A and B are shown apart, each in its own frame.
Chain A
């Protein structure tokens, strides 16, 4: 266990199998054995009230219901599309979950292989069959702009506390952005190259403190 200090803030990095405490309720990244809680992934320990969880520092995207993500179409069926969502499991997008009136067999007229879509996870069952929907505000097919991919574990830092980081980047680059929980980011208009550089900087310095301020200074200097 290593504790990183910066002023009075603490960040504790834990490894799989490391003891976290007793009589704590296990959150994500934690498992219990009797009353003892242990970390199951490499990450940052955080305790809130009586609940302990470990925020992973690496790893694949595992779909969760209500996540907004960016997918690409990999297969077209008569009444559904198969969407790659940058996770071990592809997702199913049914024609009734699309914003259009699609006739049976006409799916390819609306979305074809290689198209990118903003979707929301609507269901994940116990064998991890994933269903996504486009029936929500802001969900659509992506036309124009550019996509970039970063490790999904870095996404919370790109968004920042209460969306502080993302709104900072949007404000100073005048970019339109959409950050998917699966590690894919869509950018369009404004100063895209600066926004990309800022996100790459966040990805590289994700473990440091005061990142929002550092990025603010970086963007001012541009």
Chain B
């Protein structure tokens, strides 16, 4: 299968182009904060509860809050029905997302508490962990939780020997490398960086720069979504 044709990718995008993104803040009434993100074919709903008292008592940390995240894919999110319940992959994503968010939240302000983040993937189309992180950080800000900064995430990859931004489904499955990156947009500090496949050092550096620039674009959209909710325009 030809993934790059006449300098264009399979879905007609250029190498450094993102898929269309829509972010909405405060979509759920019962949660303390929430966000809904559509990123290409991805549809993710994130909800935040807390800070609230950690239960059972023995998991409490007397010096800081626990950030506990759950990444879950709906049975209907992929073309073959996904068997329900946590699997190896979703446990891993839950863990890395909570570690990334733990770094930005002022957890020391809420000793003995937990901040729970639930991320539900309603439809998956490559890059769900970045979509989830993006949604989760908007939901956290919506919940009024004190944070050092936002978290903005985006994936980069290598397809047919080219470094391309924001892989689609086919590119992810048939490409040569996939590199999700999450950063704190203000400082540029990296919160998450994983790599699947192979890249040379030059390719890697090029990919990271491309990814960080894209994260800044995502950051602008996140800000816009929150401003829309809180100023009503």
Which A residues have a C-beta under 8 Å from some C-beta of B? Answer: 2, 4, 13, 15-17, 19, 29, 31, 38, 40-43, 56-60, 62, 88-90, 126-128, 153, 207
Question: Given A13-B231, A42-B142, A89-B112, are A60 and B51 neighbors across the interface (CB < 8 Å)?
Answer: yes
The yes or no answer to B227 lying at the interface (CB within 8 A) is: yes
The yes or no answer to B204 lying at the interface (CB within 8 A) is: no
Q: Which 9 residue pairs of A and B lie closest in terms of their CB atoms, listed nearest first?
A: A59-B144, A17-B149, A58-B144, A16-B147, A40-B146, A88-B51, A88-B113, A127-B111, A17-B186
Shortest CB distance A52–B (Å): 15
Interface residues of B in 100-119 (CB under 8 A from A): 106, 109-113
DSSP class of A's interface residues: helix, strand, loop or mixed? loop
Instruction: For B150, list chain A residues within 8 Å (CB).
Output: 15-17
B143:A58 contact, CB within 8 angstroms: yes
A40:B148 contact, CB within 8 angstroms: yes
Residue of B50, B51, B144, B150 with highest tally of chain A CB at under 10 A: B144
A60 to B230, CA, bound (A): 17
A29:B146 contact, CB within 8 angstroms: yes
Which B residues have a C-beta under 8 Å from some C-beta of A? Answer: 32-33, 50-53, 62-63, 106, 109-113, 141-150, 184-186, 223, 226-227, 230-232
Instruction: For B147, list chain A residues within 8 Å (CB).
Output: 16-17, 40-41
A128:B143 contact, CB within 8 angstroms: no
B106:A31 contact, CB within 8 angstroms: yes
Instruction: For B106, list chain A residues within 8 Å (CB).
Output: 31, 40
Shortest CB distance B14–A (Å): 30
Partner of A128, one of B32, B33, B110, B223: B110
Question: Given A15-B150, A17-B147, A59-B145, are A4 and B231 neighbors across the interface (CB < 8 Å)?
Answer: yes
B230:A16 contact, CB within 8 angstroms: no
Question: Given A2-B231, A42-B230, are A127 and B144 neighbors across the interface (CB < 8 Å)?
Answer: no
A16:B231 contact, CB within 8 angstroms: no
List 17 A-B residue pairs with CB atoms under 8 Å apart, sorted by A's residue number.
Answer: A2-B227, A13-B227, A16-B150, A41-B145, A42-B141, A42-B142, A56-B144, A57-B144, A59-B32, A59-B143, A60-B32, A88-B53, A88-B113, A90-B53, A127-B112, A153-B144, A207-B230
Closest residue of chain B to A60 (Cβ to Cβ) is: B51
Shortest CB distance B135–A (Å): 15
